[in-house]
Amino acid sequence: GHGGLRETQIETDLPVLIPTTYVGNVSERLQLYAKLDRAQKPEELTKLVASMTDRFGPLPEQVQLLVDIVKLRWQAGNLGFEKLTLKRETLRIYLPAGAGHEAYFQGEQFGRILNFVQTHPRTARMKDQKDKLQVTFDGIRNVAMAQHLMATLGAEEMVMA
């Protein structure tokens, strides 16, 4: 991990891929997936997007979505989420519970999440699982909405557009 952050897992049913019509070569496509996956900083991502645009032309929608998913994963990681899923217009975040994580649940960040859930009873709910706490948010139709939600949940941080 970088800066002590665990790698946040992210799963979605949105069409995030590099189409063959954009990058025809299989190994080149796999390389780009790997580079996107490894990008750790906005500057790296910006450079990568620029070089893709230079070589293959403007990013198709699915590829732009892939780039946005990388940013979403950073946001989720910064908020301490172990995993995030965006499926069927529902966003779920998984927080590490159990031994060794008590400090997180006494911290400000968790306080903000708790506050959000309490003030949005119709769309947000919390569920205790064995060693995880799952928080569900309804009506999150796309990555932009998910990014906005992350920004709201981490309100103390500077929001990067």
Residue 22 belongs to a domain? no
Residues 6+ apart with CB under 8 A from 151: 75, 157, 159
**What was the pLDDT predicted at 158?**
46
CB 35 within 8 A of CB 48: yes
Residue 98 belongs to a domain? yes
Structural domain span for residue 96: 79-155
Residue 12 belongs to a domain? no
Residue 142 belongs to a domain? yes
Residue 99 belongs to a domain? yes
pTM: 0.86
CATH of the domain at 98: 3.30.1360
**What was the pLDDT predicted at 161?**
46
**What was the pLDDT predicted at 6?**
61
Residue 130 belongs to a domain? yes
Residue 139 belongs to a domain? yes
**What was the pLDDT predicted at 134?**
94
- The pLDDT tens digits along the chain (161 residues) read 344 446 799 999 998 899 999 999 999 999 999 999 999 899 999 999 999 999 999 999 999 999 999 999 999 999 989 999 999 999 999 998 777 778 888 888 899 999 999 999 999 999 988 778 999 999 999 999 999 999 999 876 444 54
Give the number of domains in the chain. 1
Residue 31 belongs to a domain? no
CB 60 within 8 A of CB 3: no
